[in-house]
Each structure stands twice: as C-alpha cells, then as structure tokens.
Chains A and B, each alone.
Chain A
Amino acid sequence: MGALEIAGRILLQFWPVWLGLAAIFALSFRFKTCLGLYGRLMDSGIGKVGLFIVLFWLLTAILADLVITISPLDQIAGMKNAAPGTVVPGVEGQYYLLGGDNLARDVFSRMVMGSRTVLAIAPAATLFAFMIAFTLGLPAGYFGGRFDTVLSFIANLVLAFPVILLFYLLVTPEIRASGIPVMAAAVLFLFPIIFAALLLWSRFKTQPAKLALYLAITLVLGVWAYSGLAFNADPLGVFSMDPNLLNIFVSVVFVNAPAVFRIIRGLTIDIRTRDYVAAAQTRGETPWYIMLWEILPNARGPLIVDFSLRIGYTTILLGTLGFFGLGVSPESPDWGMTINEGRKQLSIHPHPALPPALALMSLVLGLNLLADGLREQALKD
C-alpha cells in the first residue's frame, strides 16, 4: 500500500470525527454573535485552527471506539514491527494502517486510544488545580497580610522544586506505601467541595431555602465523589480511581496549583482596588461574595487563556511521566509510554514511536493556538 493510500484510509477512518467537527463548526458560525468570547473565536484565524485541532482530539477521544480498526491490546501473529499498511493475515480488508509495534499491536489504534488517557486526565487535573488556586489565591490576594505571606512562600517552595524529581518521589513504591499520595489526595480533593460550597453560600445567603437545597445537593454529590476518588470507598462503585492514576492525578494537581495560585493572587490584588468592589463592601457583602462573585468573574479573561495553556502543559507532563515509565498502567496505550517503547528501536523501525509523538505535539500546539486566539479576542472588548 502506498503512502497516499494509507493517508486516505486514515482520513476515512476518522469519519465520525469529521462529521462531529463539521456539525460543531457549522453551529458555531451560525450562532457566533450570541456565543460571547467563544463566538468571537470564529473571527480569529489562529483561534479557529487551535479550536479545530483541540476539538479533533477531543472528538477522537470520545469516539475512539468507532475510529480504531483493531483493539489496541490485540497482538496478531506475524505483525511484529510490521510496516505501515500491512494486511492483517487471514482477515480480508483489515490493515495495520501505521504498522505494528514491538509486541505486534496496531500503532494506529493505540494512538487513537491513547488520546483518551490524556484527555481524561489533563483537563480534569487542571480544573482541580484551578479550584484549589481559587480557594487559596483569592483570599491571599484580597486580605494580604500574613496569610498571603505564608501561602506565597509555600507556593514558591513547590515551584522551586524540580518537577520531575517530585514526580519520581511521589510515584516510588516506598512513598506510595507510606500513604502520602492518598493523604495528599484527601486534602487536595477537598478543595473543589469547599469551593462549590463557598460559591453557593455567598450567593444565596439571603435566600435560606434555596441555599439549603443547593448546598445539600452539592455536599451529597461532593462527598460521594470524594469518598470514591480519594479513598476508593464509594459504596455504589460509580466513582473510583486506579491507584496509579490517583498518583499521577495528585502529582499533576500539586505541581500546577501553585502557579495558578500566583496568577489568581495577582489578578485579585489588581481588581480589589476597583470601585465596584468598594461598592460591594459598602453594601455589606461578605468577603467571600466579593471574591467569588465580584472579582473572579472579572478575572476570567487571563484565566481562560491560562487554563487552555495549562492543559497543554499538563499533557506534556503526562507524556513525560509515561516516557519515564510512571504512566497509568504498563499495558495502556498512553502516548508518552508508547513513545518510550518505540524509542528503543527508533533507528530500525521509526514508525511505532512517531505517531504518538506527532499526536502529542499537535494537541499541545492546538491548545497553544487556542489560548493565543482567546487572548487576542478577549483583549478586543
């Protein structure tokens, strides 16, 4: 099979993704005037390209089951290190589109499946990091003083520590056995619940009936998910997290949170001096209402940009972790791990290592372009 035919077949294999992209872009263009910042993204060339790439991978992750040709874990005899476009023996019209790897698995399907790991962890971990940073950074910036000094010092301490070393520490069996990751998870996963509760409490304090209802729903859902994610003790078994995954998740959140904390603290210090904050104070609002409902929404511009950049950064981190063998599970088609496996015979068979590397690169590039587009459009108003 020639290179062109392979490319054609790969593009064809992504048909559900193209369909989804076409639908999303058509709708976005149709309603771009009433979609706020997202709608204005449609006016920016860079933003559109970035969004296209990011959505491509997002849809690939969601629709991976439709895109893959063969199960990513299937090993088929005779396909070890097969060249791209090799026909699967015994099955008519079945190809290893990007060849086979060292263990005779389909490189294409593994790359497609690998997007799931990245896109499941990176945005969620970034979101957690943001919620922790909100809960700590807003009061640090708003009140200042000793609270701010102590928190900023800790944040600087974490930031000054070499990230890779920290990861190695957090994932080594000895540290794992000591229970530190679970304890860290227990602390870190508490913040989203606190954040949500504060958000509701400050807003609906004047309407006790509504407040009680919303708070109850949040707390039940939050504690349920918390018990499952942090301690793997969900009685219903809906929320659970593989211990390996938990480790990685916790480390990524831990590394990202201080950086976001500093951004939010800085933005808060700036916005705190505005008259509408003074107006809220003279109205007798609680500090948490001012922080969460007066300051935070007006800091959203830089935060959205940082959010998309940070997902890209986290994606690279996950790849790095996988590359060092600290990945999710040894079998999983995680991009970083696949690159590492392919590295060993890069000079003989380059094809197993290149596709996941290009995938990782394109996703990060897309996220960066998206952030650029968002920044460009956010500045215009």
Chain B
Amino acid sequence: MTTPILEIEDLSISFFTRAGEIPAVMDFSCTIMPGEAMGLVGESGCGKSTVALAVMRYLGGNGRITKGRIRFKGRDMAEMSPKELRRLRGADIAMIYQEPMASLNPAMTVGKQLMEVPMLHAGIGADAARQAARDIVAAVRLPDPERILRAYPHQLSGGQQQRIVIAMALMSKPSLLILDEPTTALDVTVEAGIVDLIKELGARYGTSILFISHNLGLVLETCDRICVMYSGEAVETGSVADVFSRMRHPYTQALFRSIPLPGADKNARPLIAIPGNFPLPHERPPGCNFGPRCNHFVAGRCDAQEIDMAAVPGDDRHASRCLRVAEIDWQAPPPRGAAAESVKVGAPVLRVDNLKKYYGVSGSILGPALARPVKANEAVSFEAREAEIVAIVGESGCGKSTLAKILIGLETATDGGARLKDQEIGRKPIQERDAKTVSSIQMIFQNPFDTLNPSVSVGGQILRALEIFGVGKSQAERQSRMLELLDLVRLPRAFAERMPRQLSGGQKQRVGIARAFAGTPQVVVADEPVSALDVSVQAAVTELLMDIQRKSRTTMLFISHDLSVVRYLSDRVIVMYLGHIVEQGRTEDIFSPPYHPYTEALLSAVPVADASVRKKRIVLEGDIPSPINPPSGCPFQTRCHRKRFVPGNLCETVVPPEVEFAEGHFIKCHLSRDQLAAVEPVFTRNTTPAA
C-alpha cells in the first residue's frame, strides 16, 4: 500500500488566551493519498484554516496542538527540527492564501520572487532559476511570460496575481498544495479559469491538494474527497460522489437544503434555513455540536456523550459523526414550508431610460485632466414593476454599483434619466430630494460588519432612520414603530438596547434590512445583501428579505454576482458587462438559450453543488478590460468565445443593437437569431437521478 502524503490523526488544537483555553479543532482526522484532492468545507469559525496552519506548523504564539499527530509522507511532523520544517515549507508543502496581493512582495518583480524559490530550496543558479520561472509562468497560462517576469505585482490584475501565487507554489514541485479559499477574492469567470488551472496542474504534476472553501459547488468541481467541518469537528468525510449524493450527517444535509440549487423555487420549494446560530467555541453544547440545530436531535442520546466518527457501511472511506446514521430516513423529503403564492407584479415603479454615467478622470497639478472619461454606465435602460425582484448581475467593474449609487442619489447621471413613479431622480442628488423620495428608495449594504455604526445601539439607529424619514409624530410613536420593525425582521425586541458588536453577522444584516424598510420604501436596492454571510445564515436572511418584500409589495433591485441566488429569487434579470446591459429578460429566459455569449460563460462559470447537474464548460480568456480603456465595438469582443462566428470585423467596430427575442427579452449581440437559438443549454440533468 502506498504511504499517504498527509495523515492527520485525532488532531486537537487549542488557542490559549487570557480568557483561558479555547479549543479550535477537536479530534480531527483525515488522510490524503498521492495525487488526491481533498476539499475541506465549513462555515467561518469552524476551524478549517486552523487545520491548514497546523499542517504548516504555523499556529502563532498562542496556538498549540494539544493532541494527535500529523504525519507527512509517514514522518511525524512534531519530531522535525525547525530547520527541517523550514526546508519542508515551500519545498514539499506549499500554501496559497485568499488574497493574492498579500502574498506577493510589492517591492520585487514577479520574476525575482519566483526565482527565489528554486534558488533557496534546490540551490540552483540564477539563470536556471529564471528559465524555470519562465516555464512555470507559461504553465499557469499567462500570456507573454517575459513581460510578466519583469512586472511588479501591482501591474497585474487580481486573476493574474493569483496565477503567479500558484506558479510560485508550484516552482519547487511540492507534493502537497494547501489552498485556503484561493478564489474568494476573484470574479466568477476568473475563478473558473483558476479552478481549471488547479485541476489541470494537480493532474500534470501529481500534486496532492488540500482545498479549503466554504463553497460546496467549488469543491464538487475540484476535489475527489471532501471533509465537512462544523464547530471544530469533522462531521462527515468521504468521496465527493458519496457525500454529495448520499450524505449521512444532518449538518451536511441541512447545508445542501439551505443553498439554492437549480430546481429550487422561491414559491413552490423555498430554501430551508438551519435554525439557530453557530455556537461560539466556549459555548459548545455537550455531545453533538450540531444537536441544538438538528431536526433529528434526540434528547438524552445525542447530548449524552461525545460522538465519534463512524464508518458508513457500503461506501469507500465514508464516515459520519452521527449516532443515528442507521435510523434516519435520508431519502425523506424535507419538511415542506408553506408554499407561498407567486406575487402578481403591478405597474412600473422605476423606469431607467438611456442612463449614462461618465467619470472625468481628474487631472493633478502636474497635468491636465485626461480627455477620455471612464464610462461606468453606457445607455442603460430598463424598468422595474411593483412587487418585482429585478436582479442585476455582473462582475466587478461592470457598473452595477454605479447604477445603484445613481438611483440612491449618491451620484448623478451624466445623461439620460431615471424616474421613480412620475418623479425624476436620475439627475437629483440626495441633498435635493425631499424626505419622502429619500425614504421611498433605500439601500441594503453588502458587508454586515460595516453597515451599522458601532457606537450607536440597534434601536437608536432604526429610530434615527424613522426620525429622518418623518415617520410618526412623537418619539413614543417612533419607539413603538421601531419595535415593530424588529418584529418584522424577527429579532427579539430586547435587541433594541444592544450594541452592534454584540450581534452576529446575520443579525446585523437584519437590522440593516429593518432600517431600509423603516420608511416603507417603494424601491429597495440590495447590494449583495447575503454574500458576506455564512451559508447556513444566508438562506434565513434571503427568505426574510423575500418575505418582507412580498408582503409590502416593494420593488427590489437585487445586485449580485451569485447566479444561483439570482435564479432562485428574481423575477427578471439584467446582465451587465462593462457598463452595458448585454442581456435582460425574465429569469427563465436568461437561464435557457438563446443566451448572450457572456451570459453563457457566466452561467457555466458558476459552481453548482449538485452532482446530478452536468454543466457546459466555457472558460473565458483573460481578464475584464478596464473601463478607462474599454474595447471598441462590442464591449465583450476581447473575451468572446463566439466572436469567430460573426463575419468581418463587425464586433470590433460596431456596438451591437439590442434584439428582442421574447417579450422583454433583449440580447445585445451581432450573432444572428438562429445562431443564438442553436446554442445548447448550459445545464443538463444527468439521466440517473441522484438522491
């Protein structure tokens, strides 16, 4: 039998602080065989990064391994001297972090940084090292390796930087590569390229991979085996196929039910949120950590003793930390929530007409302003009806945030306009709007940790919004309205006295929602309201938001890059690229052919956590062009995979017209109707239905 690359046995890690010992990881075991890719999945705070750092023996001053063993190629790492460990790190084990810019030295050229690795670990000369660096840059599929080697990190885009970090990790041909959320900071289409690269390189060099992520879909695409962690413990481990189709732990099952998979429907099959909150390390319940949130919890058994991992019979190395594996009917359909009726949309509330936003690049004392402005929005037109959820989808730099800012009044349009009911708002900054207009178009922000003023109590912040919107005649009236709003977002009334730091991320986001709905708005702009939250909390907040929206018949503009959520909740979708709307239409039109080539690529780039869905793979070349210097003609022409089907140089010269395919379904592309209609769908279901 071959020796495993990495063998972790009963590992326990604690952090020692002034408050005492905080156990971060308990009783964790896993084995990675040569060439195998292991996915480590869990929510933030579950200990997955701590495991990775323990493998590198890099736990900081107050972290200590209290129990267990880590063997690398059969050798116990605890017995290695610091010198041996140093040789191991970077040479045999390499690690890649989330933020590429933080891993690169901004003062050194990329070439120098890459050359350092073999010169240090293999002791080869500068010329050979340079040659090796050039080869590896070509291997991570970066164009023009010579130029890249001479560049400084800040001269590269985020995706290119991450490729360089991967190249650096691969320079010394490590036997184990640890990736800690390597694509979280990147856009979806760029992410797809990186994921492809990791898979291919893993296969080519035979490197074993430990892939840490919170995204189940990504793990499905990259890994052979998966280990699900919850609150410091591994709860289920097995091959990806087994765990995805025959999950045997209630947490894994709940996790899958709380993410929007293709087929979920906001009316007929709503998401099922996991009740309660993630336990803090010092507040873990006795027995099963997941017990208090579990549907299958049996008092007196699940909380009676510590629960060990037990093999699931019939599967290869599939184990679960659940006492009741044999008792639970895993095929049983989830308890149905009350299916809501679909909402009838009303008259148009918001009408955006030919809206343009150009930023003049301001000049400095040394030089005049550039003649060319940054075109953030280019002739954007759409309308949103009452009680409708319109999703705006696109990657960073596509102009979706600028559009939101104009609607809210933080920016004004350069040309064209936007009307709320019969009032012009596109050219009216917020200072010139009256309280009623301000309160009728409100915003929910992305980052829950930043959206509340840390110095003001929760109640105080909602009260202030009510005051400013002129709701209620007296302070007492507003006070009671504030408590009603807390009820509305399902927070206990006692939270009014709390300070934001005492709230979890999901709770903070609920306060943000309450604040946005304080003045009974007609339109709410939600800027990625759940993307910063943990998976199990996301579902609860999404459901809450939709529930309020449905009851109050508010129009919602849902800005997102997560197409799974968009497909689940929106009525209509607008796809933006470089300031242009490239496609818009009803959700079902967007998610089935004909597609705009960009929509097609975007759809195929989104990781889907469903083993039964087969996906067409389109990986776009290169990065999103800068809006300072947009390509001529069609904005997407530099990366388009279907450009070759368009005769002549039409794509480079002419901005394509909007063509209507179905009612309200517009595509901005030079391809003919038949060509677009002939494209096969991105998602197809496997013929063998999975559990």
Contacts and interface: CB of A to CB of B under 8 A. Distances in A.
A7 interface: no
Contacts of A300: 455
Nearest to B518: A283
Given A206-B467, A206-B468, A298 B453 contact: yes
B624 to A, nearest CB: 23
B657 interface: no
Interface stretch (A214-222, A270-278, A324-332): A270-278
A276 B465 contact: no
B69 to A, nearest CB: 35
B515 A279 contact: yes
B653 interface: no
Contact of B445 (A206, A275, A293): A275
Contacts of A278: 410, 443, 445
B410 A297 contact: no
B430 A297 contact: no
Chain B CB count within 10 A is highest, among A276, A280, A281, A297, for A276
B438 interface: yes
Contacts of A293: 456
Interface in A94-145: none
Given A206-B470, A275-B451, A284 B433 contact: yes
Contacts, number: 59
Given A282-B442, A284-B430, A298 B468 contact: no
A206 B438 CA distance: 15
Interface string A276-319: 10111111110000000110011010000000000000000000
Nearest to B466: A206
Given A206-B467, A206-B470, A281 B451 contact: no
A298 B455 contact: yes
A279 B443 contact: yes
A139 to B, nearest CB: 15
A207 interface: yes
A381 interface: yes
B512 A279 contact: yes
A294 to B, nearest CB: 6
A83 B442 CA distance: 77
A276 B410 contact: no
B408 A274 contact: no
Interface in A343-381: 381
B409 interface: yes
B324 to A, nearest CB: 41
A276 B451 contact: yes
B446 interface: yes
B447 interface: yes
B493 interface: no
B514 to A, nearest CB: 12
Given A207-B467, A275-B446, A381-B501, A282 B430 contact: yes
A294 B453 contact: yes
A284 B468 contact: yes
Given A207-B467, A284-B430, A279 B438 contact: no
20 contacts: A206-B468, A276-B451, A278-B443, A278-B445, A279-B451, A282-B410, A282-B430, A282-B443, A283-B438, A283-B442, A283-B464, A283-B468, A284-B433, A284-B439, A284-B468, A285-B468, A293-B456, A297-B456, A298-B454, A300-B455
The 9 tightest CB contacts between A and B, nearest first, are A297-B455, A284-B438, A275-B450, A206-B467, A275-B445, A276-B453, A275-B451, A282-B408, A282-B443
